[in-house]
Structure 1
Amino acid sequence: MINYILNKVFYALLTLFGVVTVIFLLFNVLPGDPAQMMMGQNEDSEQLALIKQKYGFDKPLSTQYAYYLNDLSPISFHSKNPADYTYLDEGKYSATTLFTISNVTTVLKWPFLRESFTKQGKNVSQVISETLPNTFVLAVSAITIAIIIGILLGIVSALFKDHWLDKSIQVFSTLGMSVPSFFSAILFAWFFGFVLHEYTNLEMTGSLFELDDFGEKVEIKWKNLILPAIVLGIRPLAVVIQLMRNSLLEIFNQDYIRTARAKGLSEFQIIRKHAVKNALNPVVTAISGWFASMLAGAVFVEYIFGWNGLGKEIVNALNTLDLPVIMGSVLVIALVFIIINIFVDVIYAWLDPKVKLQ
C-alpha cells in the first residue's frame, strides 16, 4: 500500500510539473506586456521599468520560468538583496527559514501563486481561498444529485428494460448529455427564477453568501444553490444513468446472479447484495472525472447565476487579463484532478477485490 501511494505521488508530481510548464509557456508567449496589464492606462515609463524589475519581467524567459518554479516550490531559495525578485519579503511569503549560505536563504513555505494584476496587493492564493469553497459546495451538491438520482434511475431503467419507463429515462439522459450547460443555465434561470418565481421563490442570480437588505451582515442563502446545482448536475446525472443501466444489464447475465436467483433470493436482495456494488466500478470512474471537471465546468454556470465561485472569478480574470489568477486557478484545478484520481484508485480496490494496489 505504501509503495503504491508513493508511486502514485511520484507520477502525480511529474504530471503537475508538466501542467506548470505548459501553463507558464502558454501564458508567457501570449502577445502583450504583463507590466502594462498591471498599470492599465498609465504610461509612466519609469514606473513600468520598476514593475518589470520587481516581478522579474525584464529577465529572459528561462529565468522567469525558474522564478515561477521557485515561487511554487515548498522549499525555495531567496536572495538577501532587496533589488532581486527572489528577495525574501515577509509580506509576500509566509516562510520558515531552514538555513542560509552566503547571500542565499533556503526557506519552507506554502506555494506562492503570485499577486493579482487587478487586485493590487492581493495574493492569488487569497483570491482562490475566498472563491474555491463556494465552487466546492456547488460541485458537491451537483454530484450528490447526480449520484443519488442517477443510480436510482439507472437501476429502474435496467429492471424495466425496453419498457416505456426505460425508454423515457433514456430520452431524458440523452437530452441531458447533449444540451450545453450554459444553455441549461439560461433556461433554468429564466423559467424557474423569473417565470415561476411567484411559486418557486427562487432568484435568477445569487450566491451562497449575500448581504442582508440593510447591508449589515452576511447571510447564507441556501435557496440560491438549488438551480445552479441542478444545472451543473444534469450532464453527470445523464452519464451515471447510462453507465448504471448498462453495467447492471451486463451483471444480470453473470452466473453468480443466476445462482442467486436459483437460491430463491428476491430481486431486491440480488440488486442490493450482489449487483449494485459490482456495477459501481464504471460509475465511480465517471463520478470522479465529473467531480473534478465540475470545478472547471462550473465557469459558465457560476457566471450566469452570479455564483461567487472560482469559475466566475476565472471569467472575470479572463476579461481583465489577470494572468496570475488564471494560472493559479488552473493549477489548483489540475491538483484536484490528480488527488481525486489517486483517491478513486483506492476506492476501486474496495469495490472490486480483484483489483490489487501495486
Structure 2
Amino acid sequence: MLSYILQKIGYAILTLFGVTTVIFLLFNILPGDPAQMMLGQNESEEQLKAVRAKYGFDQSLTRQYFYYLNDLSPVSFHSENPKDYTYLTEEKYNAVPLFSIGNTEVAFKTPYLRESFQKSGKKVSSVIAETLPNTFVLAVSAIVIALLIGIFLGIISALNKDSALDKAIQVLSTLGMSVPSFFSAILFAWFFGYVLHEYTQLEMTGSLYELDDFGEENTLQLKNLILPALVLGIRPLAVVIQLMRNSLLEVMQQDYIRTARAKGLSTRQIVVKHALKNALNPVITAISGWFASMLAGAVFVEYIFGWNGLGKEIVDALNTLDLPIIMGAVLIIALMFIIINIFVDIIYGWLDPRIANT
C-alpha cells in the first residue's frame, strides 16, 4: 500500500509540473504588455522600465519561466543583488534563509503567487485566501447534497428497476445533466429569490458573510448558501443517481448476493451490509472529479448569485486582465484537483485492495 501511495504522489508531482508549465506559457504568450496592464494608460517610459525590472518582465521568456518556478517552489534560490528580481525581501517572500552558495542564497518559503495587477500590489495568495474558503464551503455543500440525495434515489431506482418510479427518476437525472449550470442559476435565482421570495425569504444574490445594516461587521448568512449549493449540486446529483443505480444493479447480480438471499437476509440488509460498499466505488471515483471541477464550474454560479468566492474573483480578474490572479487561481484549482484525486485513489485502494497490489 505504501508503494502505491508513493507512486500516486510521484504522478501528482509530474502532473503539477506540467500544469504549471502550461499555465505559464498560456498566459505569457498572450498579446499585451503586463507592465502596461498594471499601470494603466497614464504610465511614463521610466515607470514602465521600473515595473518590468521589478517583476522580471524585461527578461527572456525562458528566464521568466525559471523565475516563476522559483517563486512557486518551497525551496528557492535568491540573488544577493538588490536589483535582481529574485532578491530576498520580507515584503515579497515570507522566507527563512537556509544557507548560501556563492552569491546565491537558498531559502525555505511559502509558494509566492506574485502580486495582483489591479489591487495595488496585493499578494495573489491573500486574494485567494480570502475567497477560496467561500468557494470550498459552496462546493462541499453541493457535493453533500448530491451524495445524500443521489445515493438515496439511485438505490430506490435500482430496487424498483423499470417501474414508473425508476423511469421518473431517470428522466429527472437526465434533465439535470443536460441543463447548463448558468441557466439553472438564473432560473433558481429568479423563481426562488424573486417570484417566491415572500415564502422562501431567499435573496437573488448574496454571499456567506455580509455587512450588517449598520455597515460595521460581517454577519453569517447561511440562507444565501441554499440556492447556489442546490444549483451547483444538480449536475453531480444526476451523475450520482445514474452511477449508483447502474452500479448497484450490477452488484446485485453477483454470486455472493445470491448467497446472502439464500441465507434469508432481507433486501435492506443485503444492500446495507453487502452491496453498498462495492457499489460505491464508481460513485466515489466520479464524485472526486466532480468536486474538483466544481471549483472551476462555480465561476458562473458564484457570479450570478454574487457569491464572493474564487469563481467570482476569476471573472473579475478576467474583466480587468489581472493575469497573476487568474494564473494563481487556476494553479490552486489544479492543485486541489490533484490532491483530491490522490485522496480518492487511496480510498479506492482501501475499498478494493486488489487495485493497490497491481
Q: What stretches of structure 1 of length at least 5 have no aligned partner? A: none
Distance 2:70 2:351 in 1: 41
In structure 1, the partner of 2:342 is 342
Distance 1:143 1:109, change over 3 A: same
SS in structure 1 at match of 2:234:
helix
**Could you tell me how far 1:286 is from its partner in structure 2?**
1.0
In structure 1, the partner of 2:168 is 168
Distance 2:247 2:10 in 1: 33
In structure 2, the partner of 1:66 is 66
Q: Deviations over 1:284-306 (max 9, x none)?
A: 01111101111111000000000
Q: Which amino acid aligns with 2:285?
A: T
In structure 2, the partner of 1:81 is 81
In structure 2, the partner of 1:107 is 107
Distance 2:357 2:199 in 1: 52
Q: Is the 2:77–2:106 contact (alpha carbons within 8 Å) kept by the matching residues of 1?
A: yes
SS in structure 2 at match of 1:230:
helix
Q: Does 1:191 align with 2:191?
A: yes
Q: Deviations over 1:85-104 (max 9, x none)?
A: 11111111010110013321
Q: Is the 1:346–1:357 contact (alpha carbons within 8 Å) kept by the matching residues of 2?
A: no
SS in structure 1 at match of 2:92:
coil
Distance 2:247 2:2 in 1: 32
In structure 2, the partner of 1:356 is 356
In structure 1, the partner of 2:95 is 95
**Mean CA deviation greater in 224-233 or 284-293:** 284-293
Q: Deviations over 1:72-116 (max 9, x none)?
A: 111111112111111111111010110013321110001100000
In structure 2, the partner of 1:205 is 205
**Could you tell me how far 1:353 is from its partner in structure 2?**
3.6
TM-score by length of 2: 0.98
The structure 1 segments of at least 4 consecutive aligned residues displaced by more than 6 Å after TM superposition are none
In structure 2, the partner of 1:4 is 4
Q: Deviations over 1:249-295 (max 9, x none)?
A: 11111111111111111000011011111100110011111011111
**Could you tell me how far 1:357 is from its partner in structure 2?**
4.8
Q: Is the 2:244–2:279 contact (alpha carbons within 8 Å) kept by the matching residues of 1?
A: yes
Q: Is the 1:143–1:236 contact (alpha carbons within 8 Å) kept by the matching residues of 2?
A: yes
Q: Is the 1:24–1:65 contact (alpha carbons within 8 Å) kept by the matching residues of 2?
A: yes
Q: 1:104-143 to 2 correspondence within 5 Å? A: 104-143=104-143
Distance 2:179 2:109 in 1: 44
Distance 2:245 2:311 in 1: 32
The percent identity for this pair of structures is 77
SS in structure 2 at match of 1:354:
helix
Q: CA RMSD in A?
A: 0.9
Q: Is the 2:184–2:231 contact (alpha carbons within 8 Å) kept by the matching residues of 1?
A: yes
Q: Is the 2:5–2:346 contact (alpha carbons within 8 Å) kept by the matching residues of 1?
A: no
In structure 1, the partner of 2:54 is 54
Q: Which amino acid aligns with 1:341?
A: N
